[in-house]
Amino acid sequence: MDWIGAILTLLLFIFAIMFLLKKNRNNSSHNLPPGPRTIPILGNLHMMDLKRPHQTMIEWSKVYGPIFRIKLGFQEMVVLTGYETVKEALVNQADTFADRPIIPIFEDAVKGYGLASASGENWKMMRRFTLTTLRDYGMGKRTIEDKITEECSFLTKTMETYAGKPFDVTTILSAAVSNIIVCILLGKRYEYEDATFLRLLKITKETVQLSGSASVMLYNSFPKLGFLLGPYKKIMKNEKELHEFIKTTFIKYLQDLDENDQRNFIESFLVRQKQENMKMTHGGYFHNENLIGLVDDLFAAGTDTTANTLRWAILLMMKYPEIQRKVQEEIAKEIGDIQPRTDHRAKMPYTDAVIHEIQRFADIVPSNLPHSTSMDTTLKGFFIPKGSYVIPLLSSVLHDESQWEKPYKFYPEHFLDSEGKFVKRDAFMPFSAGRRICAGETLAKMELFLFFTNLLQRFTFQPPSGTSKDDLDLTPIVGFTSTPMPYKTCAVLR
């Protein structure tokens, strides 16, 4: 038995050496991107700041260049940094970089259905349906603008009840923003105190935050560890609760579905589902799993990123009162006391620049969602094989020193020319770019302008008594999205 064991050990050793030699030959036969040295099992995990992985990757780009390879656990990844590289991949080679790899935490939550984690034909079908239906329910049109301005009135009236005393804006901003996507999905709005609504907001915020935690990064690298990780269990519990709510909601709509009177996104999906079933379509796309995935994606994306951007907006206005004052002066000059509309944006270059700079500075989704290559390709001279796991690092684009005069400062002049006119910047990519650009970009831009101008028309935001602007901390809490540290503000009526 000792001889057999020794022979088996020797054979395994020889096999391992042959595998490594073959891998090295394959690597040397193509000009693969460079990267930091890995160690067995962990790869580069031991070198990574798990709380701010995008910062580690930006530092590595200074050593290995704008395209490099890393390994987290057993998952090899190609990281793309800087505007030129990310643009070349996502825009110039849009189809090649449009796939989505399997991400264990998302696979467990929605099984690859919906929009964000879907790929291939399922993703194309769901994206086409989503964009068409969002437009049908007013995205980019006057109808949804009316809903947003109405919600702005609810929000400002709620803020008035605090009578200039300190309060935390987190919940009411999330509720106000969420009501816009809820209106599209469900055809209704919730009161800010509604218990069901508050619960949905809580679990959504919690899930988004935990999805970018060190624990979940470990799970994505070693999925078999899930049973040991509390955040993973919490996400799965939250997702189950959200999906049960969605199921209950669309079953209710299904009971009185009228094909000739579709009132919201869910009903439109159910009508398509019914039509597909009548055609006896096999392997169709309009099934309940895709509906749950879509509503899950849209509710989370339509709430978290825009609400977080507005939280950053209020914090930055307190931090830079001179900028807040200039915005208010432009509002007074161009709008006066009437309620702001999107038509006013063209006359308000400084306000527009401030909103864009808030988005750039806040860097809401620093690491982006990963992409995958649909075929072998070459990028900037490096070979990237089909099926590669690719991270187009948005943070590196929004802070690219070759594109921004003061990349790490809050500087609205990034978006203004010498005459004070608004200037578009190609490196402004908070919504990503290419085929996977955020489906709700148009809606988010409208919301940010209308909420921001309504708030600053009505209030001046100040730190609580005893807190100076210098005390305000701009260090982000980074999960999957970047959120500001908890703070309180005083909304003083103008």
For residue 203, count CB atoms less than 10 angstroms from its CB and return exposed for 0-12, middle for 13-18, buried for 19 or more: buried
* E strands in 396-436: none
Token duo for residue 247: 């199921």
Measure the CA–CA gap between 117 and 103, rounded to whole angstroms.
8
Measure the CA–CA gap between 451 and 155, rounded to whole angstroms.
9
Measure the CA–CA gap between 123 and 8, rounded to whole angstroms.
46
Q: Is the dihedral of CA 305, 307, 308, 314 positive or negative?
A: positive
Q: Residue 438, annotated ligand binder?
A: yes
Measure the CA–CA gap between 494 and 329, rounded to whole angstroms.
12
Token duo for residue 346: 């063209």
- Helices 120-136 and 265-278: crossing angle, nearest 10°? 130
**Quick check: 114 and 126 in contact, CB under 8 A?**
yes
Contact residues for 433 (Cβ-Cβ < 8 A; gap 6+): 86, 87, 90, 91
* CA nearest neighbour of 54 among 31, 77, 88: 77
Measure the CA–CA gap between 256 and 186, rounded to whole angstroms.
14
* CA nearest neighbour of 463 among 359, 365, 318: 318
**Quick check: 292 and 244 in contact, CB under 8 A?**
no
What are the beta bridge partners of residue 416?
422
Contact residues for 269 (Cβ-Cβ < 8 A; gap 6+): 129, 133, 250, 286, 291, 294
DSSP letters spanning 239-296: HHHHHHHHHHHHHHHHHT--TT---SHHHHHHHHHHHHHHTT-TT-S-SHHHHHHHHH
**Residue type for position 316:** L
Q: Which residues of 459-488 are buried (b: 16+ CB within 10 A; e: fewer)?
A: bbbbbeeebeeeebeeebebbbbbbbeebe
Measure the CA–CA gap between 302 and 356, rounded to whole angstroms.
18
Q: Which residues of 26-59 are buried (b: 16+ CB within 10 A; e: fewer)?
A: eeeeeebbebbebeeebbbbeebeeebbbebbbe
Annotation: binding site for heme: 438
